[in-house]
Chain A
Amino acid sequence: MNLYAIRAIFGFEMARTRRTLLQSIISPVIATSLYFVVFGAAIGSRIPEIDGVSYGAFIVPGLVMLTLLQQSVQNASFGIYFPRFIGTIYELLSAPVSAFEIVIGYVSAAAVKSIVLAMLIMATAALFVPLRIDHPLAMMAFLVLTAATFSLLGFIIGIWADNFEKLQLVPLLIITPLTFLGGTFYSIDALPPFWRWVSLANPVVYLVNGFRWSFYGKADVDVFLCLALTLIFLCACLGVVWWIFKTGYRLKS
């Protein structure tokens, strides 16, 4: 195992975050905090409690998940796409680094960044809404698992994309709508039966509900199903990454 290489990639990615602190950390924290101010403190006080949880507190797990998904995908996709774009990928391809080590380096950096961000958002949320975490270990498990899974997805997107527009395509046109329609701001039990059934086809519903269960002990769907689906998605992403390195897709001519 080339631990020095993993450390080099991880350190390089974290250095990029330090250089762009405003854009990487402060901006997403402020943007998400605005939701707490508007929906939690301002409008939230006029909305009845959901399953005994105030509306402001109810939306926190969903909003944290929204940021986690977006940031994991963006961090990892940019991390691997940028060397391809500027040509420095030659160094990675010619170094004695296995595919596994490359993925560990980029994905762990992306995941750590989004987890730190998620923690900051939760800490900020606690200033505006009454936040509690019933199952902290489960919360951390969901956080880490989701960050790793979507960082892998981001890595795949970063390999697939051949321009900056494609890089933004999945976070903006797929993840954001799915998260907004995935029970971030409402319980899917409140939907008419048909739309509840449609919502169950949305994978983000399971991520949001699993995560929300770790906060308040309540979810619209079975929490083990949430965990199982997250693990299945993680395995699917790992499979695609394995195929990418086996075939050299978009990496080697």
Chain B
Amino acid sequence: MQPIIEIARLSKIYASGFEALKSVDLTINAGEIFALLGPNGAGKTTLINIICGIARKSSGTVRIAGHDNVADARRARELVGLVPQEIATDAFETVFNTVSFSRGLFGKPAAPALIERLLTDLSLMDKRNSQIMTLSGGMKRRVMIAKALSHEPRVLFLDEPTAGVDVELRRDMWGVVRRLKQDGVTIILTTHYIEEAEEMADRVGVINKGELILVEEKSALMRKLGRKELTLELAAPMTAVPAALSDFALALSSDGQELTYRYDTKAERTGITRLLQALADSGIRFRDLRTSQSSLEQIFVELVRRDK
């Protein structure tokens, strides 16, 4: 895959001495959806702001489609669209005008038909002549996306795009993201809704305390770090896990009806056979069993906890 963003040894130290980014190396491929995850204050927005030219780097390089984002800023920025975390729009301007303004700002001639198509895609067409201050929060968020897409960027940054957006709107937005991916747009998103990253992303990066602690294909990450859980529905409830089963670190549900065993799918021995044998030896019978894979959210929480 062709890299479209190449970040090398990128650091950011604020005047206060706070080190927001610590020598970050990252390559993002053209046409992929890359999810950048991390707790609050991890450095996600700082990283995006530096790539987009809103914040200054302390050291390192950022190249967008081969163009240095400082030395060749104009060529680099032409390719990028940004939807920032905070909703920031000119309240008195109309939807159509503000989106057209963004297109002009990025050096593109007026294209009313294109803007109208964009507004239609984002279900904003009936609001095209409305002042932005009359729109709901979700609608304003859509306007922000329309503005970012108005100059047909090759790379789109979505910084928490669905924060405070209702379920229906969120689903619509991800529909737009999917269509953009089909059109070859590279998408870098940060989100607190990790299930979204799990559903949408091709690759996942986890950043914590300014360090990129992991970059992995999402499916490989799920395989590599994902744990499975075996849940046994007991025939008779129990009050405590018998001592004979203490080696398996079983978790007993609060109602005493279920035992849960966590195991590593990549381990040479999962311990399932031994557990089932031990249960039989202890005379514990179960009515049913099921297995489940850990979610990206659980993996993320585990990674960040390990990094503390």
Return chain A residues, CB-CB under 8 Å to B55: 252-253
The chain B residue sitting closest to A86, CB to CB, is B88
**Contact B106 A93, beta carbon cutoff 8 Å:** no
Cβ-based interface call for B108 (8 A): yes
Cβ-based interface call for A241 (8 A): no
B contact residues, total (Cβ < 8 Å) = 35
Cβ-based interface call for B262 (8 A): no
A127 to B115, CA, bound (A): 47
Cβ-based interface call for B193 (8 A): no
* Interface flags, A85-112, vs B, CB<8A=1, else 0: 0111011111111100000000000000
**Contact B147 A248, beta carbon cutoff 8 Å:** no
A contact residues, total (Cβ < 8 Å) = 27
A6 to B54, CA, bound (A): 19
Return chain B residues, CB-CB under 8 Å to A92: 105
A83 to B92, CA, bound (A): 12
**Contact A94 B104, beta carbon cutoff 8 Å:** no
Cβ-based interface call for A2 (8 A): yes
**Which of A4, A16, A19, A93 lies in contact with B54, CB distance below 8 A?**
A93
Cβ-based interface call for B77 (8 A): yes
Cβ-based interface call for B74 (8 A): yes
Q: Tell me what chain A mostly uses at the interface: helix, strand, loop, or mixed.
A: helix
A7 to B101, CA, bound (A): 9
Return chain A residues, CB-CB under 8 Å to B199: none
**Contact A87 B88, beta carbon cutoff 8 Å:** yes
Q: A94-B77, A96-B77, A253-B56 are in contact. Are A5 and B82 (CB under 8 A)?
A: no
Return chain B residues, CB-CB under 8 Å to A9: 105
Q: 6 closest A-B pairs (Cβ-Cβ)?
A: A8-B104, A87-B88, A96-B77, A94-B52, A96-B74, A95-B105
21 contacts between A and B (CB under 8 A): A4-B108, A4-B109, A5-B105, A8-B104, A8-B105, A9-B105, A86-B89, A86-B91, A87-B84, A87-B88, A88-B88, A88-B90, A90-B54, A91-B82, A94-B52, A95-B105, A96-B74, A96-B75, A97-B107, A252-B55, A253-B55
Footprint of A on B, CB under 8 Å?
14, 49, 52-56, 73-78, 80, 82, 84, 86, 88-93, 97, 100-109, 147
